[in-house]
A = this chain, B = another copy of it.
Amino acid sequence: MSDIDLLALRQSSTLSELVADKMEKLILSGELAAGERINEAVLAKELGVSRGPVREASMLLTSRGLVEFIAFRGAFVRKISRAELLEIYDLRAVLTGQACYLAALKAGGDAGPLNDLHERMEKAADSNKADKYYTLNLKFHECLVDMAGSSRLRTMIDSLVNEMHLYRQVSLRSHPDMAQSNREHRAILDAIIEGDAEKARELGEAHVRAGKKRFEAAGAETLVEDE
């Protein structure tokens, strides 16, 4: 585990934020496993800071959906059950719909970097590069939300995406049908360029719901079980 000082050169940023960023990486990479308790003293020592910033960072991550606080028992890396994951899909669907709606309103015919991203995903899908597609897919959705121009919406969706990553870590990386997924992206993109906001909403919502179905279908095979 690398020391926090490596990042400390970033200015006008508080130690707590640096620690939070570091912890977010540790959590999303699985080094801090879902359900695990975060020992303030131990982590503080490892990062070379005192307990204060670790505590504050934990609280920051709470609002990002990655950590859960229990009084006098400590901070725990959140654990997402299958039922919760499905619930999150639904919330993400309606919020993504709203993002597409706003993006279509504000785009003014210009899809920005979305076109480029879509093309690169097309290539990744053709050559069956799932990891590449996964990364680009994240960027595509991020870009979509940015175009919507609502920091509130961004925070909410980011939080949901974070939580999704807590479900069995990499399990989401397996993308059953990249070609189909990207066709849906194309349709959203077209609606945004046309400026048809209501259509963009419908397509965005449906796209996430389709993702949910793809996940459910894949999950049925492997028969994973949760509490």
Which B residues touch A13, using CB under 8 A?
Answer: 71
Distance to closest chain B CB from A95 (angstroms): 7
Look across to chain B and name the residue whose beta carbon is closest to the beta carbon of A14: B71
Chain A contributes a number of interface residues (CB within 8 A of B) equal to 26
* Least Cβ–Cβ distance between A147 and chain B, in angstroms: 14
Other 17 A-B pairs with CB < 8 A, given A87-B152, A91-B153: A12-B71, A12-B72, A13-B71, A14-B71, A14-B72, A17-B71, A55-B56, A56-B59, A59-B59, A59-B60, A87-B150, A88-B152, A90-B98, A91-B95, A91-B150, A94-B94, A94-B95
Give 26 pairs: A residue, B residue, CB < 8 Å, sorted on A: A12-B71, A12-B72, A13-B71, A14-B71, A14-B72, A55-B56, A56-B56, A56-B59, A59-B60, A59-B63, A62-B63, A63-B63, A84-B152, A87-B150, A87-B152, A88-B152, A90-B98, A91-B95, A91-B98, A91-B152, A91-B153, A94-B94, A94-B95, A94-B97, A94-B98, A95-B95
